[in-house]
Each structure stands twice: as structure tokens, then as C-alpha cells.
Structure 1
Amino acid sequence: MENDIQNSTDVMDYSDYSYTPRTITPVMICEQEDINTFVTSYISTIFYILFCISAIGNSIILIILVKKEKLQSVTNIYILNLVVSDSIFSVTLPFTAIDQSYNWIFGTILCKMHTAAFHIGFQSFVIFITLTTLDQYFTIVHSWSTSSRLRLRYAVCISCIAWGISIILSIPDVISYTVINNDLGVTLCKFSAVIGDQTYLWLSIGHYKHFIVFYIVPLSIIIFCYIQIVLKLAKSNLRKKSRALKVIFFIALLFFLCWTPYNILMFLLFKKHIELFADCSSVPQYIFHICQTTVYVHCCMNPFLYAFLGTKFRRHLKCSFKRHTSRNISQQEISLKTSLANGI
């Protein structure tokens, strides 16, 4: 569903479509040059920046997790899966930026691969955020060991199931998305009903899957878990454990702040409140694209949360930086001594 919305920001054909229960006739929202310029000049640039930041940050965290942490806790296993999900999701950003600036130029196969990466990355990301929060809940509230062998096995099995669910739920989107040419001859990678004339039905399924399964349910679980954790910490006054919660708490908070405005807006649009855009006013158009962009911002924020809020990650980063710096200094000194000796 999100891919269908994002592809509506095409430069030459800036249009979106509303499918109501009574009709599946596409309704054009707007065609505005200033909005097109805003999308192609600013939003696309942000996507490129987000991709670069995400790639660097996730690579650093992946190295620390594998080499330093050794994946000896359930939390680290879920964080590793979060990094993988985040990486898969961020890979779609350059393609989205190019699509917004130059239309879809990559063909049908890459269109479906882009759709698969987008949905698998996003869906698995939300699942692992929820699982990480649940892990913190059971560890603190119920005093479960986070490093027991049995829990580690369960975490690996649950992670495999989570990936399976993400892949299975992405199959309908991969099947439905294809490369089409609109009335203006612009090539788009977007939703196209393939089973009879049931466009609205499949759009409805995609909308409610996203809104309920990957927003309402995870948000409810996260809120419940953190309420219980806060109550537990308030009674026990365990400050050390509360510090360890910072990373997970801010990840959940970032998820809420980034996704809530977009989901509310998408829910209103889907429920026939499309009149919001009927007059082609610039303000609601900007609001729509800003809300949509905040959804993508979360893919690059997590590495910084790990680096600046996580004590272990920060310590590993400092040690690695000092080791790398001292090694470079030693090499420079050896090279300088060798040069001087040769010169003499």
C-alpha cells in the first residue's frame, strides 16, 4: 500500500487514486509543479542521505554485534535481526528517489524485487521492534534470563518464524505490483489488480493489514509492555536496568512518532476523506509528503540510538576508534623512521 502511495509522486504525472466501495474509478488528487519540485528536489535528496547514513550505521552495528557481542543474549539476536530488516528496507530508498525523479526505469523484475524488499523490510522491522520490547518485558518484569541457552534457541526459532511471516504477507503485494504506463505514457511501478476486477478489495486488504497488524497491534503491545516495565522499576528502584532500557525505549518512541501521523492520514484518506486534497492546496500536499518521509527516517535513526544511548555499543565504538587511531599513528611513525633511515 505504501509503495502505491509513494509512486504517486511522479514528476510528470503527480496523481494519486482513491478507490471507494461504490466505484474503482481512479480520482486524480493533484498536479502541481511546486509540489513536484519539492518532492524531486528535497524528498528524493533526503532518501539518498537516509540510505547512506543507514548503510554506514548498520554496518558498524553489525560488526560490533558479530565481533564484540558474539550474540550471547536474546536482545542481541533481535537487534541483529532489526539491523538486517533495517538494511533491507533502506535498500529501497535510492530506487524510490530515482522513481520520483525520473519515473520507473528498472523494469518489471526489479519492480517486484523493490516491492518485496520494501514490505519484507518494513514488516519484519515492526515485528522485531515488538519482539525486542517483549524480551525486555519478560526480562525485567518476570526476571527471565536473557542469556540462557533455551531462550537463545527460542529467540532463533521465533526470528525464523518472524521472517517467514514477513515474506508470506509480502507475497500478495509482490504479485499485485507491476510496471504499467499511465495515460500520459509515464512508466510506473505500482499496484495493479491481477485477479479479476477486484482492485478495491486488494487495496482494502493491504490497508487493513498495514494499519491493524503492523501498527495498532505492535503499538498496543509496546505500550502495555512499557507500562508494566515502568511500574516494576518504580517499585524496585533498579536504576541500572532502567539505563539499559534507553535504547529499546527510544526505538519504540521513534516508531510511534514516525508512524502515527502517517497512519492517521492514510486512514482518513482511505475512509473517503480525500476531499482534503480536492482543492489542490499546497499545505495538505506538503503535510502528506512530510508524514510519508518521517516513515523512512526511522531506518537511519536506530544506529545512532545504539551508538549514543547503548553503553556497550558506545564502549566498543570508543575502543575500536582508539585501536584504529593508535595503529595508524604507529604505521606513520614506522614509515617516517624508514624514510629517514633511507634518506641518511
Structure 2
Amino acid sequence: MQATASYLSSTEFWDDEDLIFLCEKQDIRDFQVNFVPVFYYLAFTLSVLGNGLILVILVKYEKLKTVTNIFILNLVISDLLFTFSLPFWAFYLSSEWIFKNIMCKMINAIFFIGFYSSIMFLTVMTIEQYLMIVQHFSVTITRKPPYAALTCMIVWIVSVLVTIPEFIFSGIKDSEQGLLCDKDVKTHVWNLIASFQQIVLFFLVPLAIVSYCYIRIIQTLFKHQVRRKDKVLKQVFIIVVVFFLCWTPYNVVVFLDTLNYSQASSSQKCDSALDFVRNISENIAYFHCCMNSLCFTFVGTKFRQHLSNLLK
């Protein structure tokens, strides 16, 4: 799990020439032990309830043969997959890693598969709306269920492939605080590659695609003076906006942390302020796993109607 396990050690020593800098991180450790696990359990509970409701509504009231619903179903599965890892990290932060080495690898893989696939599904859903409204491909092959199923399959395959290094390098190791579940990499090259992959491929590129698609969609709606608001478009748009609001602070911190690590001296790398900002931005980003269901429930009129019928 990126950036979390590395702070379990409360004290680290940095050797810079003939000086030894004592890097105290007890405040970070206390913050992780007392606050972060509670936040993870809360996010897990809300995500299971919210995404579970959406899953029931999709199966009970909606036709899963439509393109949009196929994408929504896979997005919900992606969020639930991400959510499944949170209780393990919560218990880990409050104690130590008590599970086996293979579980450390699997939980890391599940975490990143859910993370990467969620980003790609949100991007794909935006492109699908762009093709339907701007390019008028509503009747072509891009709007047929086989196309959606193939697209979802590609997304899952790509998510698994980019997560293979996380599975390989993750493992348990001994420390003063007990067993850690962390990356076992002898060189820092992989950490730089992983940061580049996350920031560029899974943040900046999706952000550029989504921004372009919605700019063109807005231009098309104004050009043709369309008064009827597309409810599905509004729903997907809010989901995407919420996603980037949740993940932008975290990616900015990852970028600053990478610069700090590669350019700063050893004493400057012990930056407790950056550690706190990183932890807070991580919590905001991980809370996103329960936000999609809230958007579906309170923004989509159709989902609110289904939810009302379900509660009755």
C-alpha cells in the first residue's frame, strides 16, 4: 500500500556524510494508530452500504444489457474491490501485519486493481457520453452491449497488468514495531516509476481526456440549444468531478514527495508536515470509494425512484 506502511516506523536514521539525523515520526505514528483506522472502517461501511444498494437496484430494477448500466455495474464492482482492502489496512495500522506473506501481496494487488480500474471506468463512461452526444454514435457499435463488455474486459486486463509489480515487490518484513507489509525493493527506481505511472497515466491523462470531452459536450449542448438536461450525463459528470476533487490533493502530494525525495538532502527528507499532508490527502482519496454510490442515489432521479420503491 503506497505511502502508508513506510510510516509505521516511528524513528528513522539518515546518514549524511559524517552526521546522523534523528528523524522522529512518533506524531505520524500516533495519528495513524488513533485516527486512520477509524476512518477506514467508516469508509468501508459507507461503501458497502452505498455500493450494495446500487448493485441491488441495478439487478432488481435496471436492465444490465444497456451500455451505461454495464459500465455502472463494473464501476460499482471496482469500488467494492477497492473497499475490500480497507479493513486489512485499518487493522494493520493499529497493530501489525498478522496475515501471511501471500495475503500482503494479494491485498496490495486488490487495492491497486480497484484503484486503477475505477479511474479507467470513469474515463470510459465520459468518452461514451462524448460519443453519444457530440459524435452522434448512439446507434453505432459503440453503443451496443458487446462493445461495452469488451471495453470492460480490456479495463480489467490493463488494471491487472499494471498491478503485477505491486504483487511481486510487496511482502512482509520484520521491524521494531513487528511485521510490516511493504514493498521490498532494493533500488528506488521502481518507486519513481510507480509515482510517474500514477501521476501521469492514471491522473493527468484521464484528467485531460475528461476535460476535453466535457468541454465539447457543453459546446454541443449550447450550440444546439438543448434545454432538456441529460440526467445520465449530469450523473456521470458529478461522479467524475467528485473523483478528481478527491484524488487531486493526493497526486499533488505524491508529486511533491517525489521531488523532495529525489532532490532534497537526507535531513530535509524528514518532513513531518509533508507526512501529515500526505496522510490527510490519502484519507480524502480513499474516501472516494463510497462517494460514487452517493452520487447515484442523490443525483440520479431514476435511482432515487428505485431506492424509494426498494425501501417501500
Q: What TM-score, normalized by structure 2, do the two folds share?
A: 0.90
Which whole-Å deviations, capped at 9, do the CAs of 1:136-158 have from their partners, x for residues lacking one? 11111122227979621111011
Equivalent residues in 2 for 1:167-178, closer than 5 Å: 167-178=160-171
Greater Rg over alpha carbons, structure? 1
Cα distance, 1:209 vs. partner?
1.4
- Tell whether the 8 Å contact from 1:57 to 1:304 is kept in structure 2 after alignment: yes
Which whole-Å deviations, capped at 9, do the CAs of 1:105-125 have from their partners, x for residues lacking one? 112011011011011110111
- Tell whether the 8 Å contact from 1:192 to 1:199 is kept in structure 2 after alignment: no
- Structure 1, unaligned runs of 5 or more: 323-344
Q: Where is the strand percentage greater, Structure 1 or Structure 2? A: 2
Cα distance, 1:98 vs. partner?
1.0
Partner of 1:285: 275
Which whole-Å deviations, capped at 9, do the CAs of 1:29-82 have from their partners, x for residues lacking one? 943433322222212101000001101111110111122112132111111110
Matched, 1:270 2:269: no
Over 3 Å counting, the alpha-carbon distance change for 1:150 and 1:244 in structure 2 is closer
Helix, strand or coil for the counterpart of 1:83? helix
Identity of aligned residues (%): 38
Aligned with residue 180 of structure 2, among 169, 182, 188: 188
Cα distance, 1:205 vs. partner?
2.0
- Tell whether the 8 Å contact from 1:45 to 1:97 is kept in structure 2 after alignment: yes
Over 3 Å counting, the alpha-carbon distance change for 1:270 and 1:131 in structure 2 is same
The RMSD of aligned alpha carbons is 2.6
Equivalent residues in 2 for 1:224-235, closer than 5 Å: 224-235=212-223
Query: Counterparts of 2:182 and 2:13 in 1: how far apart (Å)?
Result: 11
Over 3 Å counting, the alpha-carbon distance change for 1:276 and 1:76 in structure 2 is farther
- Tell whether the 8 Å contact from 1:211 to 1:263 is kept in structure 2 after alignment: yes
Partner of 2:67: 74
Partner of 1:134: 127
Partner of 1:57: 50
Cα distance, 1:276 vs. partner?
11
Query: Counterparts of 1:265 and 1:235 in 2: how far apart (Å)?
Result: 39
Query: Counterparts of 1:73 and 1:139 in 2: how far apart (Å)?
Result: 13
Equivalent residues in 2 for 1:235-254, closer than 5 Å: 235-254=223-242
- Tell whether the 8 Å contact from 1:306 to 1:313 is kept in structure 2 after alignment: yes
Helix, strand or coil for the counterpart of 1:199? coil
For 1:167, the aligned partner's letter is: V
- Structure 2, unaligned runs of 5 or more: none
Aligned with residue 317 of structure 1, among 301, 307, 310: 307
Query: Counterparts of 1:94 and 1:228 in 2: how far apart (Å)?
Result: 41
Equivalent residues in 2 for 1:1-344, closer than 5 Å: 3-10=1-8, 13-14=9-10, 30-145=23-138, 151-182=144-175, 184=176, 186-193=178-185, 199-272=187-260, 278=268, 283-322=273-312
Cα distance, 1:281 vs. partner?
6.4
Query: Counterparts of 1:245 and 1:154 in 2: how far apart (Å)?
Result: 19
- Between stretches 42-51 and 286-295, larger displacement belongs to 286-295
- Tell whether the 8 Å contact from 2:260 to 2:269 is kept in structure 1 after alignment: no
